[in-house]
């Protein structure tokens, strides 16, 4: 999949445009994406100041040198790239050399003449090269209306990140620039999709004068409403999305060129890193799946944060003191099967100090009861796992009663160590779960779950009955996700009764609400995918 080009633009200065771009670039690179930043604010470059502590050397070339390359008939878009230290794949092209001759070099450029000579086609080749090598190309554009601004807002980007503050001049100027870019884009001789625009309210202080801040929120939504139509999910209100796309004013970060995302790695909702993560996640999703963002911001960001992450270990095996022997044997058997397993003994406090876990899944060996330490370990894992495809898999020793365990463990699909089923057999089944070979829900001869769900989706019921069905379907999602066959089939029996045809009593009957249909579609996709996977790979477990 080719990369995407995002231009960060503001009509007025002082809105935190370069600050926002630099921090989002660091987040995207930290999340495993390949990122290129270009400083096209040629008359007042400043992006390098944010990256300077991690630049290997002072920039010796940049965007203006791309123009010189064109004039000399040289195609070398990588010649002026620097990679930041200890930041993943985060590359940077400065505006130009940091020396007195830079200004004269810039003033010699006649952009109209360059385009007459074919610079547009040359720049298009550079763009194609960049989107092939990078997942995200972030462009810092100069403010106002200019020739350079047209290149950044119309020619190069797939998406425009429009930053403004809560005043009419900033908002209306930015909106006018977006409309100009859209019109100019239609005149380009290059194949481009419609320009999508992400409006970001920046430096917004709602801690004082709450009533006035809410009034301005309404003004912002009214003035920018037209920008949401081409990308926002129809079920999401623009006002809701506008709140997610708001960067708060925090005076501490207004001094100098700083990167708060480096120090706020697990930010709370009142920190600016929290808002920057949200905007970065929307960009990482290329403005898609906004319905999920509206439902659960933390899950949305968490899923993006680890979507490309490589875990050091496949599985962390939590071992209670009373089951060290068989648990060690289990780890040995797992490693024989090429599972990257790591042990954690109860009381390993180093886990609590880590910002993120280094194992994708957690295996909980339970001997009689879940210890206080294991309970804390599961809670921490689930907090880090929100919205991600990571599992807690319990393994119970022979004398452990599943019914006596707390629900967050007892309701999960578990394996059991017994005299007849030792570590080797359990490791084999555990590998099946990790590779997706084990069915989420065991089939029963008397239940066609997919057929029942299809019947529910097409039913017409009273509103009160749909309320009950929604509760059952929601509970079934949790049961299927946990692999709890018993609970799933109990819910299915209740669901069959709930949708059983009844004699009409004069009340209106309605089709399934959108939320119920979406939940059923998720269940059907999940069951179908896992059934195919199980059939295809079951032989690998033999």
Q: pLDDT for 94-103, tens place per residue?
A: 999 888 888 8
- Does residue 438 have a pLDDT over 70? no
Spacing of C-alpha 271 from chain mean position: 19
Where does residue 134 rank: exposed (0-12), middle (13-18), buried (19+ CB within 10 A)?
buried
- The pLDDT-based confidence of 535 (bands split at 50, 70, 90) is very low
Confidence (pLDDT) at 192: 73
- The pLDDT-based confidence of 210 (bands split at 50, 70, 90) is confident
| 328-352 b/e (C-beta count within 10 Å ≥ 16 → b) | ebbbebbeeeebebebbebeeeebe
Domain residue spans in the chain? 4-306, 313-435, 449-540
To the nearest whole number, what is the mean pLDDT of the chain?
Answer: 85
Shared fold status for 4-306 and 313-435: yes
Range in 28-42, 244-258, 353-367, 374-388 with the lowest mean pLDDT:
374-388
Nearest Cα neighbor of 130 from 193, 201, 80, 69 is 80
- Does residue 530 have a pLDDT over 80? no
Confidence (pLDDT) at 483: 61
Encoded tokens for 151: 């290149």
Confidence (pLDDT) at 357: 73
Number of residues that this document lists for the chain:
542
Q: pLDDT for 311-340, tens place per residue?
A: 889 999 999 888 899 889 999 999 999 999
Range in 194-208, 419-433, 514-528 with the lowest mean pLDDT:
514-528
Place of tokens 């129809």: 234
Encoded tokens for 359: 């194992």
In this structure, are residues 53 and 20 in contact, taking their beta carbons and an 8 Å threshold? no
Nearest Cα neighbor of 159 from 261, 9, 57, 45 is 9
- Does residue 537 have a pLDDT over 70? no
In this structure, are residues 343 and 317 in contact, taking their beta carbons and an 8 Å threshold? yes
Confidence (pLDDT) at 16: 93
Question: Quick one: average pLDDT of 408-436?
Answer: 82
Range in 45-49, 326-330, 512-516 with the lowest mean pLDDT:
512-516
Range in 123-137, 479-493, 527-541 with the lowest mean pLDDT:
527-541
Question: Quick one: average pLDDT of 106-124?
Answer: 89
Q: pLDDT for 356-392, tens place per residue?
A: 678 889 999 999 998 888 888 888 787 666 556 678 8
Could you say which architecture CATH assigns to the domain 4-306? 3-Layer(aba) Sandwich (3.40)
Q: What is the pTM of this model?
A: 0.66
The CA-based dihedral angle spanning residues 512, 238, 230, 122, taken in that order and rounded to the nearest 10 degrees: -140
- Quote the percentage of the chain above a pLDDT of 70: 87
Confidence (pLDDT) at 205: 83
Could you say which architecture CATH assigns to the domain 313-435? 3-Layer(aba) Sandwich (3.40)
- The Cα-based distances of 1 to 66, 77, 250, 286 in angstroms read 26, 20, 37, 12
- The pLDDT-based confidence of 541 (bands split at 50, 70, 90) is very low
C-beta neighbour count of 54 within 10 angstroms: 17
Confidence (pLDDT) at 220: 95
Q: pLDDT for 272-291, tens place per residue?
A: 999 999 999 999 999 998 99
Nearest Cα neighbor of 274 from 266, 282, 286, 283 is 266
- Quote the percentage of the chain above a pLDDT of 90: 39
Place of tokens 């790695």: 265
Confidence (pLDDT) at 512: 87
- The Cα-based distances of 416 to 55, 200, 245 in angstroms read 53, 52, 47
């Amino acid at each position: 999949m080719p990369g995407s080009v995002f231009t960060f633009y503001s009509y007025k200065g002082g809105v935190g445009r370069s600050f926002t771009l630099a921090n989002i670039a660091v987040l995207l690179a930290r999340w495993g994406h390949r990122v290129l930043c270009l400083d096209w604010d040629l008359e007042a470059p400043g992006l390098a100041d944010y990256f300077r502590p991690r630049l290997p050397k002072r920039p010796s070339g940049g965007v203006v040198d791309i123009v010189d390359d064109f004039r000399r008939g040289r195609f070398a878009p990588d010649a002026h790239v620097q990679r930041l230290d200890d930041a993943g794949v985060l590359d940077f092209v400065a505006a130009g050399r940091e020396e007195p001759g830079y200004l004269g070099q810039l003033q010699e450029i006649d952009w109209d003449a360059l385009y007459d000579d074919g610079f547009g086609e040359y720049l298009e080749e550079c763009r194609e090269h960049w989107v092939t090598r990078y997942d995200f190309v972030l462009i810092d554009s100069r403010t106002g209306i200019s020739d350079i601004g047209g290149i950044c807002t119309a020619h190069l980007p797939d998406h425009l990140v429009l930053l403004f503050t809560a005043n009419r001049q900033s908002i209306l100027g930015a909106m006018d620039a977006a409309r100009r870019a859209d019109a100019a884009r239609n005149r380009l001789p290059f194949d481009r999709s419609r320009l999508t625009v992400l409006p970001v309210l920046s430096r917004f202080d709602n801690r004082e004068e709450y009533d006035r801040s809410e009034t301005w929120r309404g003004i912002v939504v009214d003035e920018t409403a037209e920008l949401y139509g081409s990308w926002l999910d129809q079920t999401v209100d623009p006002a809701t999305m506008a709140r997610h796309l708001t960067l708060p004013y925090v005076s501490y970060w207004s001094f100098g060129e700083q990167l708060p995302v480096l120090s706020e790695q697990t930010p709370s909702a009142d920190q600016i890193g929290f808002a920057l993560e949200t905007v970065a996640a929307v960009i990482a999703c290329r403005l898609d799946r906004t319905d999920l963002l509206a439902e659960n911001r933390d899950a949305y960001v968490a899923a993006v944060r680890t979507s490309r992450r490589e875990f050091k270990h496949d599985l962390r095996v939590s071992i209670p003191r009373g089951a060290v022997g068989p648990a060690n044997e289990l780890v040995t058997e797992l490693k024989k099967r090429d599972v990257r397993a790591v042990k954690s003994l109860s009381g390993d406090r180093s886990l609590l100090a880590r910002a993120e876990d280094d194992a994708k899944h957690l295996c909980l060996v339970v001997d009689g009861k879940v210890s206080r330490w294991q309970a804390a370990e599961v809670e921490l894992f689930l907090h880090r796992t929100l919205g991600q495809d990571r599992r807690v898999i319990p393994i119970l020793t022979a004398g452990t009663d599943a019914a006596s365990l707390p629900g967050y463990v007892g309701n999960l699909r578990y394996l059991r160590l017994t005299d007849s089923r030792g570590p080797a057999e359990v490791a084999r089944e555990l590998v099946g779960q990790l590779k997706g070979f084990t069915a989420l829900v065991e089939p029963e001869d008397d239940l066609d779950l997919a057929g029942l769900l299809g019947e529910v989706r097409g039913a017409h019921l009273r509103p009160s009955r749909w309320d009950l069905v929604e509760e059952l379907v929601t509970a079934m999602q949790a049961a299927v996700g946990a692999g709890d066959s018993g609970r799933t089939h109990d819910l299915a029996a209740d669901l069959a009764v709930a949708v059983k045809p009844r004699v009409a009593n004069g009340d209106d009957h309605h089709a399934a609400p959108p939320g119920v249909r979406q939940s059923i579609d998720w269940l059907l996709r999940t069951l179908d995918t896992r059934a195919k996977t199980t059939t295809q790979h079951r032989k690998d477990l033999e």
